[in-house]
A and B are shown apart, each in its own frame.
Chain A
Amino acid sequence: MTDLTNLTVAGIRDGHRAGEFTAVEVAEAFNANVANAKALNAFIVETPELALAAARQADADRAAGTLKPLSGVPLGMKDLFATKGVQTTAASKILEGFVPPYESSVSQKLWDAGAGMLGKLNLDQFAMGSSNETSAFGNVISPWRRTGSDTALAPGGSSGGSSAAIAARLCPAATGTDTGGSIRQPAAFTGISGIKPTYGRCSRWGIVAFASSLDQAGPMAQDVRDCAILLENMAGFDAKDGTSLDLPVPNWEAALSGDLKGKKVGIPKEYRIEGIDAEVDAMWEAGVAMLKDAGAEVVSISLPHTKYALGAYYIIAPAEASSNLARYDGVRYGLRDLPEGAGLQDMYAATRAAGFGPEVKRRIMIGTYVLSAGFYDAYYTQAQKVRTLISQDFMKAFEQCDVILTPTAPSAAFGLGEKNTDPLEMYLNDVFSVPASLAGLPAMSVPAAITKEGLPLGLHIIGKPFDEQGVLNAGLAIEQRAGFTAKPAKWW
């Protein structure tokens, strides 16, 4: 029998439906891979019994003729989604031991669709980071290595447990969340696909909040079709999220097409950064040729405020975080640090000092400062105005094109510890992904090339609001032409 853990979500779904294997066999194979990959530190909590229970149900449903869209498919769940009865930490000490009495809307939808849970995936603490080095539960190690080297590489972040687990075949697909690139950049670093839908497509209810005007859930998977399948089962209106979009969920999988005839692809000249990594630039050129080959017309566009996107993001996201994370007070859930004789205020300060990691503290303090009296207009209001300009840039560009093509990240995966001395160096990793986040646009990364050192690079497609289909189709056109089949050699 073929190795079931090499199958895609579509392959598992269709093979199970056709009776080629049982869901229990699939769950057992992935459970074994998870158990044998401790060196990657991709999971914070493993739940093999939950994966098996869902698999038994899937096999029973098949026998009864009541199969669901994801029957037989086990998934990894980023540990930012509240899961009823299973510890949910956001990779922070301040939530260690927190066991939600409720289920997030997105994960509930996936379970309702028949999927099972392999475990809770590691991430950057509160999703703040681009390398998975801010987790309180240790770094995730990428399964990828440079040719001839055993240097530990970053799986990207913040959804680095998700990206590493998929690349290492510990799960066929996983959930991610994306605030400034946290689905797309780790997907690019590990040679997989991931899509952040239009802001509001996926309910934020039950997802630990980081920056609420930016946070969006999305799928990460081996290929574009799997992303479409999962997104269909994650998206949809939810009355419990005030910013949820009350729109029907399209049948993205059925409408997948890599034929781009009549479509226009915009190439933003401001993303042509002086001194860009030569291999990244070459991949971008190759991507343009692939989309032309798929029938698209390529046009040059301008997004004049691109240069200011990162600055605006690093005001807006910390500002929202400082407000959202005020809830961790040692009273209602999570850690409490009560020094001898301390009063309530001292308990708050001690609890938060002990519970939050350095990057989380840094962002809370930046956010507190830019929202404080006397600085609010100069920083926060100014950033919100720049955000309007960035959004307007995209709307003008979309008068000339249907999708926009850029690299996902400015480089291939870097080594752990290489970029964490200066926070600003790390922030620059999101230079290509942040503008689409600020504008709430759907965007995805697909693997497109391998560097001379043997590491994957990703191409980034940004679409119009609500046009996930256009993004997925352009992604499929690249996937069909890039011929990306590389897998990390097993060392763990």
Chain B
Amino acid sequence: MLAALYLPQRQDKMAIDQATVKKIASLSRIAISDDEATAMEGELNNILNWVEQLSEVDVTGVEPMTAVIPNVLRLRDDVVNADPLIGGNRRDDILANAPAAQHGFFGVPKVIE
């Protein structure tokens, strides 16, 4: 019913292959196995083929939406601790949930060999 209306627009072309899936995973910083990449290839292609329908919309002269409700970006006073919740002097709070805080810093594995 619903699927019959919405999904037949899917074409069975494969926009992305397994190498592309692995490239996207790498850009996303998500480790995936070959099996996962195979499964993901089909799923991502289905979704991308489905959203392909947007290309049939005539958008000549249409501006892309950047703000759904018109609003102006505000400036705050340029002072330290303007807001006690998001101002400075919160080091210990900021580190409280870090998996490996050391000496008042975030700990990470060695970056330079």
Interface residues of B in 70-90 (CB under 8 A from A): 71, 73-74, 76, 83, 85-86, 90
Which of chain A's residues has its CB closest to B29's CB? A348
Bound Cα distance A125, B102 (Å): 30
For the complex formed, measure the closest distance between the CB of A91 and the CB atoms of chain B, giving whole angstroms. 17
CB <8 Å contact, B2 and A389:
no
For the complex formed, measure the closest distance between the CB of A392 and the CB atoms of chain B, giving whole angstroms. 8
Across-interface contacts of B43 in A (CB, < 8 A): 362, 423
CB <8 Å contact, A350 and B28:
no
The listed residue with most B CB atoms (<10 A of its CB), out of A368, A381, A387, A423, is: A368
Known: A200-B71, A239-B74, A365-B30. A389 touches B57 (CB 8 A): yes
CB <8 Å contact, B57 and A384:
no
A439 in the interface (beta carbon within 8 A): yes
Bound Cα distance A387, B97 (Å): 38
Size of interface on B: residues with Cβ below 8 Å to A: 59
Across-interface contacts of B51 in A (CB, < 8 A): 311-312, 314-315, 379, 383
Across-interface contacts of A428 in B (CB, < 8 A): 2-3, 6
The listed residue with most A CB atoms (<10 A of its CB), out of B51, B94, B98, is: B51
A294 in the interface (beta carbon within 8 A): no
CB <8 Å contact, B29 and A308:
no
Across-interface contacts of A330 in B (CB, < 8 A): 99
Across-interface contacts of B3 in A (CB, < 8 A): 424-425, 428
Known: A344-B111, A423-B43. A336 touches B50 (CB 8 A): no
Bound Cα distance A202, B6 (Å): 33
Bound Cα distance A428, B3 (Å): 7
CB <8 Å contact, A213 and B73:
no
CB <8 Å contact, B99 and A424:
no
Interface residues of A in 15-32 (CB under 8 A from B): none
CB <8 Å contact, A424 and B30:
no
CB <8 Å contact, B68 and A308:
no
Per-position binary interface string of chain B over residues 6-20, scored 1 when its CB falls under 8 Å from any chain A CB and 0 otherwise? 110000000010000
Known: A311-B53, A382-B59. A365 touches B44 (CB 8 A): yes
Size bracket, chain A contacts: 35 or more
CB <8 Å contact, A310 and B69:
no
CB <8 Å contact, B1 and A277:
yes
Across-interface contacts of B109 in A (CB, < 8 A): 338, 342-344, 347
Known: A200-B69, A386-B59, A424-B47. A372 touches B27 (CB 8 A): yes
CB <8 Å contact, B47 and A364:
no
B64 in the interface (beta carbon within 8 A): yes
CB <8 Å contact, A331 and B108:
yes
Per-position binary interface string of chain B over residues 39-77, scored 1 when its CB falls under 8 Å from any chain A CB and 0 otherwise? 010011011101101110101001111111101011010
Partner of A388, one of B55, B64, B69, B111: B64
Bound Cα distance A221, B14 (Å): 45
Interface residues of A in 88-104 (CB under 8 A from B): 97-102
Across-interface contacts of B5 in A (CB, < 8 A): 273-275
Bound Cα distance A331, B98 (Å): 6
A440 in the interface (beta carbon within 8 A): yes
Which of chain A's residues has its CB closest to B46's CB? A424
A417 in the interface (beta carbon within 8 A): no
A361 in the interface (beta carbon within 8 A): yes
Which residues of A come within 8 Å of B, CB atoms?
Answer: 97-102, 198-200, 213-214, 239-240, 242-243, 245, 273-277, 305, 307-308, 310-312, 314-315, 322, 326, 329-336, 338, 342-350, 352-353, 356, 361-362, 364-366, 368-369, 372, 378-379, 381-389, 391, 410, 422-425, 428, 431, 438-440, 465
Subset of 23 A-B contacts with CB under 8 Å:
A99-B97, A100-B97, A214-B68, A239-B74, A273-B5, A308-B57, A312-B51, A330-B99, A331-B98, A331-B108, A334-B97, A350-B31, A364-B28, A365-B25, A365-B28, A379-B51, A379-B54, A382-B54, A385-B64, A389-B59, A424-B6, A424-B46, A424-B50
Q: Which 4 A-B pairs have the closest CB atoms?
A: A384-B64, A440-B68, A336-B99, A333-B97
